[in-house]
Amino acid sequence: MRSEDEKTRELLKKKESLIQGGGPQAAQKQVSMGKLLARERIMTILDDDSFHEYDMFVEHKCSDFGMDKKQLPGDGVITGTGKIEGHPVCIYAQDFTVAGGSLGLMHARKITKIMDHAIKLGIPIIGINDSGGARIQEGVNSLAGYGEIFFRNTLASGAVPQISIVLGPCAGGAVYSPALTDFVFVVDKITKMFITGPEVIKTVLGEEITMEELGGAKVQAETSGNAHFYAETEQECFAMVKRLVSFIPWNSRKKADRFPPKPPKPHYDLNEIVPLEPRKPYDVREVIRAVCDDSDFLEIQEYWAANIVVGFARLSGETVGIVANQPLVLAGVLDVDSSDKAARFIRFCDAFHIPLVTFVDLPGYLPGVDQEHAGVIRHGAKVLFAYSEATVPKVTIILRKAYGGGYIAMCSRHLGADFVFAWPMAEIAVMGPEGAANIIFRKEISEAEDPEATRLKMVDEYKCKFANPYIAAANGHVDAIIRRDETRDFLIRAIEISGQKQEWRPLKKHGVPPN
Amino acid sequence: MKNDIDLRTLKLEDTTYETRLTKKFLSRQPYARPCPSEIRAHIPGVICDLRVQPGQKVARGESLLVLEAMKMQNDLTAAVSGTVRTVHVSPGDVVPKGHLLIELDLHEHAP
């Protein structure tokens, strides 16, 4: 090292000390829990040598409860800018080794400052949460800090992508920052998210449950739907973050990066994947892989509400948002959870200029007292609202069934689809042939000598007449009926030709979506 | 984290589909009509005061017990008039949501 002047040596010494965070013992504890250190996390996500740290010298201002004698390096959070595969981002990571990553006013100010940068600069904000919660010694000031973060999460929503990576506890009010962001990543055995923890639940309600069972990664990914991406390890999680960033734009004024077009992998054959019989299941993700570039599909919320599939793929190099009914799970019905999942994703895509491609194959809505009482009316309405509101290019392809309200909801022409294609085996009708025949021909069937034979005859009659795409096409609700092997070509052309699409909406402050 | 592969059937509008069923779908509870003679905990909590005993007549609106939950004392009253048949809890009991607390025999023409 070349000889430095005294002032520079002093700086280096100070930085060296601050970089130690909570010190070797606390670091050892963090590592023993299977967790990376905050700084290591940032370095692993970001491109080599791209991290610039800010506000390293920020100190807390609390003097109560002996806090004036405590020095908390960086006030328990590391903030800065960097790049992910060349994309600039703002990033922060709470440092659990410093006072348990607890959030005080200055800790929060560092976060809100880097969030303000992200909003102004038009680049994504990535937050790594690992914190015991509010710094109790700071009282209402730590609550103020949370509130100021939530406010900025809301300002940033739809302006820049917001990614939360929950790598430790994130409890109480703190969970609302991830909840307000676009994508939440969780890691098995490390993530713990809840509003009220197991101890409170036990004292107040007498119910015993572990942190893992209450709000672990699996629960968030499978049961609550709070998480969008689940990983087994932190390393796997960071690889997923990088992949996600490659699909989305920096901000709402920019399009996502265009990649060199690549054909799908040759072993995906649409004629083999989809059974002709509409009652038979298949994995719609295979259909997506059969048409998208390099068969590369990044699924979001894979384990929650699996009866609908959402995620990002590319068509001829351009990012598209995919929404697809999944006949493999619950026959692909719409219900409370799948409606929420689809609607949120559609609104993200619309905010960030990502064209929507919808694959339709659904029998309708899930019947049941639980569904009605859980509000399937207002939840289902979100899908209608999100599709109707979206002004990005919207392309719909009806694969097999599109019955009743489900047909309307899945980005039909009537909700503003720019292009609607259908396969020749598509059945676009008010309901399936069995149900329809039983209602229309109820009298004939019940009065027949052989009701079952008559019923089958009537089902066949209905099938021939209505269970096809031609009536919808004759009315212009479907633009083209295409062979299965033409699907990719039609989708690519539709997306390409929609590149300059403009669509106007009535002037207003904002809509009021059902929730 | 993988869904189990086994296919089941799901009947929707007279059509039977082959598909996987979700955990949530399989754990649905059948709907039970609320019964005015059964007093249940509407919120989990602790029984802090029991105000009736078996055989006692109660009028509609009369206080039956106090259930403390979330630091609030909830006065549970009879929705209809009747006679207390059974008391299933004692003061200090911690009860989950939906727990059966008291059963009444409804008076004829009970308002």
Residue of A202, A204, A401 to mutate, interface with B, max B Cβ within 10 Å: A204
> Which of A230, A280, A307 lies nearest to residue B18, judging by beta carbons?
A280
Determine the Cα angle at A200 with ends A194 and A203, to 5°. Answer: 150
CB A123, CB A163: distance < 8 Å: no
- Quick one: pLDDT at residue B2? 45
Residues 6+ apart with CB under 8 A from A28: none
H helix count then E strand count, chain A? 21, 17
- Contact list, A337 vs chain B (CB under 8 Å): 24
User: Over 80: is that where the pLDDT of A1 sits?
Assistant: no
Calculate how close chain A gets to B14, using CA atoms only, in Å.
5
CB B91, CB B48: distance < 8 Å: yes
Confidence of residue B34 (pLDDT cuts 50, 70, 90): confident
- Quick one: pLDDT at residue A490? 98
What residues pair up with A427 in beta bridges, in sequence order?
A: A401
Measured between CA atoms, the residue of chain A closest to residue B47 is A205
Confidence of residue B1 (pLDDT cuts 50, 70, 90): very low
> Which of A221, A330, A337 lies nearest to residue B19, judging by beta carbons?
A330
Residues 6+ apart with CB under 8 A from A203: none
> Per-residue pLDDT averaged across A185-201, rounded?
93
User: Over 50: is that where the pLDDT of B3 sits?
Assistant: no
User: Over 80: is that where the pLDDT of A472 sits?
Assistant: yes
pLDDT tens by residue, A17-36: 999 999 999 999 999 999 99
Q: Supply the Cα-derived Rg of chain B in whole angstroms.
A: 20
First to last CA, chain B: 53
- Percent residues over pLDDT 90 in chain B: 62
Buried b (16+ CB within 10 A) or exposed e, A466-497: bbbbeebbeeebbbebbebeebbebbbebbee
Calculate how close chain B gets to A243, using CA atoms only, in Å.
21
> What 3-state DSSP class applies to A422?
strand
Q: What is the ipTM of this complex?
A: 0.83
Give the residue with greater pLDDT, A66 vs A347.
A347
Report CB contact under 8 Å: A364, B28: no
CB pairs under 8 A between A and B: 88
- Contact list, B29 vs chain A (CB under 8 Å): 370
Residues 6+ apart with CB under 8 A from A371: A335, A336, A365
CB < 8 Å from A in window 19-58 of B: 19-25, 28-29, 31, 44-46
Confidence of residue B70 (pLDDT cuts 50, 70, 90): confident
**Which pair of structure tokens corresponds to residue A370?**
């639980």
- Quick one: pLDDT at residue B109? 66
Residue of B13, B42, B46, B67 to mutate, interface with A, max A Cβ within 10 Å: B13
pLDDT tens by residue, A306-340: 999 999 999 999 999 999 999 999 999 999 999 99
pTM across the whole model: 0.93
> What 3-state DSSP class applies to B32?
coil
pLDDT tens by residue, A407-436: 999 999 999 999 999 999 999 999 888 889
pLDDT tens by residue, A344-366: 999 999 999 999 999 999 999 99
Contact residues of A toward B, CB < 8 A: 204-207, 218, 221-223, 230, 278-281, 303, 306-307, 327-333, 337, 363-364, 366-370, 403, 431-435, 438
Of A64-68, A235-239, A372-376, the range with the lowest mean pLDDT is: A64-68
User: Over 80: is that where the pLDDT of B110 sits?
Assistant: no
Please name the amino acid found at residue B34.
P
CB B63, CB B51: distance < 8 Å: yes
> Per-residue pLDDT averaged across A273-298, rounded?
96
Measured between CA atoms, the residue of chain A closest to residue B18 is A280
Q: How many CB atoms lie within 10 A of CB A253?
A: 11
Cα distances from A388 to residues A350, A393, A487, in angstroms, run 11, 12, 24
Cα distances from B37 to residues A480, B46, B103, in angstroms, run 61, 21, 6
> Per-residue pLDDT averaged across A219-241, rounded?
97
Report CB contact under 8 Å: A306, B45: no
Of A70-79, A184-193, A194-203, the range with the lowest mean pLDDT is: A194-203
- Quick one: pLDDT at residue A125? 98
Calculate how close chain A gets to B87, using CA atoms only, in Å.
20
Determine the Cα angle at A288 with ends B9 and A294, to 5°. Answer: 145
CB A102, CB A76: distance < 8 Å: yes
Strand order in the sheet with A77-84: A52-54, A77-84, A87-94, A125-129, A162-166, A183-187, A229-231
User: Over 90: is that where the pLDDT of A231 sits?
Assistant: yes
Report CB contact under 8 Å: A433, B1: no
> Per-residue pLDDT averaged across B52-78, rounded?
91
The dihedral built from the CA positions of residue A238, A244, A250 and A256, taken in this order, carries a sign that is positive
- Indicate the average pLDDT of chain A: 95
H helix count then E strand count, chain B? 1, 10
Q: Is A233 exposed, middle or buried (0-12, 13-18, 19+ CB in 10 A)?
A: middle
- Percent residues over pLDDT 90 in chain A: 89
- Residue B8 contacts A where some CB pair is shorter than 8 Å: no
